[in-house]
Amino acid sequence: MTIAEEKKLLRRKALEMRRAIGAAERKKAGQSIAGKLLDDSDVRSAIRKGAWIAVYLAMPEELDLDVFIHSALDRGARLLAPRWNGEGYSFVPLGRRRDGTLEAATGRFSVREPPAVQGIFRPEVIILPGLAFTPSGNRLGFGGGWYDRLLADAGDCVKTIGVAFPCQMAESLPVEPHDRKAMRVLPAVSQHAQNRGLKNTVGFGILSIVKKNNRSVKYRRILLKLSGEVLGNRETGECLDSSRLDFMAHRVKKIHGMGVEIGIVLGGGNIFRGLSGADKGVNRVTGDSMGMLATVINGLAMMNALESVGVPARVMTALPMDKIAEHYTQRGAMDHFAAKRVVIFAGGTGNPFFSTDSGAALRAAEIGADALLKATKVDGIYTADPKKDPKAKKYDELDYSTALAKRLKVMDSAAFALCMDNNIPIVVFDFFDGDALERVVKGEKVGTIVKG
């Protein structure tokens, strides 16, 4: 099912749920949201400064803002509302007539609109309608894209607040690159929602359909740590082997198709390793900086490999490199996950003296990964190097304290401490085992798991 198909089914279900709310409950919800908006710090600030606040004039069955609009006007607020201009919507001033009614008439799509006014008006705050919202601000509109364009025109500095009936709140929503988020969402209090058990609705029906595709998945968001050395070919001397990149891309594609959200951190040892540079007379700080650049090269190569097999991907770097990749922010990474993109975190932590293992642990903690999967050339953690010691025994499961006490080289100490402090399981497995990655995310016993 495509994202467009998911959205279509979601809209239909959301409209059905919204129609089930009676007039009395709509009125209560309108009063509730008016109080929440008037208490909002950004709204209060805009009213105090005389800045423009963009509202919407509700259609039938939509969460009505009229109580808020009149209360805001009573407080001297300067309000805008959308009006059709022949090509799309733009914001124009909204006021009241002498009789106290809103100065608006029914326009395109049977939506009330204020009268035409010449000029360009820039809101400081925009209050967003929608068919569905997630707590993080993802929004499902009617499908015309009007508000996405209005938000794009308003710029990044505008403050956006979504408002919704409780039954319009969803745990997750399908998202496309052009979709614009709300900075926060205010759900109205509705007795209807409490009586009908909709206050914490997480599905709208279609989401339960989507979740059927990944019910067997244990780890829904992962951080996959790959050694840079596995990208190279020692026999040919190539630091980037296209066949290995293709192999890895197909492994990642399989779990991406299972609905897993994937972050990747690649080492840079196939090109340059900071520690080894010291033996060649390279200053450690300079060497680590060179190693960070090597991980960016590997990240771009992996992005290209993923996109060539139909998996959308983005590279985000710890250091600003705007011409070739996005600068990492936690929020930006979460937006990419919501849009079903694989995110490749490059440049380590952006600081010398920290390994890519530390970078992987840090990003895993920041994105709330369910597990950190460390792909190696062996199928887990052993008491000794299994290639050198035939008596080496494999651990199926370890706790953090045992791994520390036995000085097992799971990851470097800083990375290990980050995972332990944030209770992130570490799974060490053989990436070159064809179905190992798929089995790991399902929670099967593969490799060695280290957990609290």
User: DSSP label at 193?
Assistant: H
What average pLDDT does the chain have? 87
Nearby residues of 109 by Cβ (< 8 Å), 6 or more positions away: 59
CA–CA distance, 52 with 116 (Å, rounded to integer): 17
> Looking at residues 313-321, what average pLDDT do you find?
95
pLDDT number for residue 328: 94
Inter-helix orientation angle 330-338/356-367, to 10°: 70
Q: At 278, list the tokens.
A: 């010291």
Pick from 385, 326, 356: which is nearest to 225 by CA?
Answer: 356
Helix (H) or strand (E) holding 414: helix 413-421
Read off the pLDDT band of 1 (50, 70, 90).
low
CA–CA distance, 86 with 446 (Å, rounded to integer): 60
Q: Are 335 and 181 in contact (CB under 8 A)?
A: yes
Q: At 73, list the tokens.
A: 């006007």
Whether 33 has a pLDDT exceeding 50, the answer reads yes
Q: At 272, list the tokens.
A: 């340059």
**Pick from 10-14, 71-75, 120-124: least confident:** 10-14
Compare 276 and 265 and report the one with higher pLDDT. Answer: 265
* All domains of the chain in start order, with CATH: 3-212 (3.40.50.10420), 221-451 (3.40.1160.10)
- The total of other beta-carbon atoms located within 10 Å of residue 223's CB is 31
Pick from 422, 319, 308: which is nearest to 362 by CA?
Answer: 422
3-state secondary structure of 413: helix
> Looking at residues 384-412, what average pLDDT do you find?
85
Read off the pLDDT band of 162 (50, 70, 90).
very high
Amino acid code (one letter) for 168: Q
Q: Are 365 and 418 in contact (CB under 8 A)?
A: yes
Q: Are 93 and 160 in contact (CB under 8 A)?
A: no
- The total of other beta-carbon atoms located within 10 Å of residue 247's CB is 16
Nearby residues of 275 by Cβ (< 8 Å), 6 or more positions away: 284, 287
Q: At 311, list the tokens.
A: 């998996």
Q: At 425, list the tokens.
A: 């399981």
- The total of other beta-carbon atoms located within 10 Å of residue 35's CB is 15
Pick from 308, 375, 374: which is nearest to 342 by CA?
Answer: 308
Whether 199 has a pLDDT exceeding 60, the answer reads no
CA–CA distance, 368 with 265 (Å, rounded to integer): 15
Compare 225 and 215 and report the one with higher pLDDT. Answer: 225
pLDDT number for residue 299: 96
pLDDT number for residue 209: 42
Pick from 344, 347, 375, 357: which is nearest to 417 by CA?
Answer: 357
pLDDT number for residue 115: 95
Tokens 């129609």 found at: 19
Helix (H) or strand (E) holding 133: strand 132-133
Pick from 164, 160, 162: which is nearest to 187 by CA?
Answer: 164
> Looking at residues 287-295, what average pLDDT do you find?
93
Read off the pLDDT band of 276 (50, 70, 90).
low
Whether 434 has a pLDDT exceeding 80, the answer reads no
Whether 197 has a pLDDT exceeding 90, the answer reads no
Main-chain dihedrals φ then ψ at residue 316, nearest 5 degrees: -120, 130
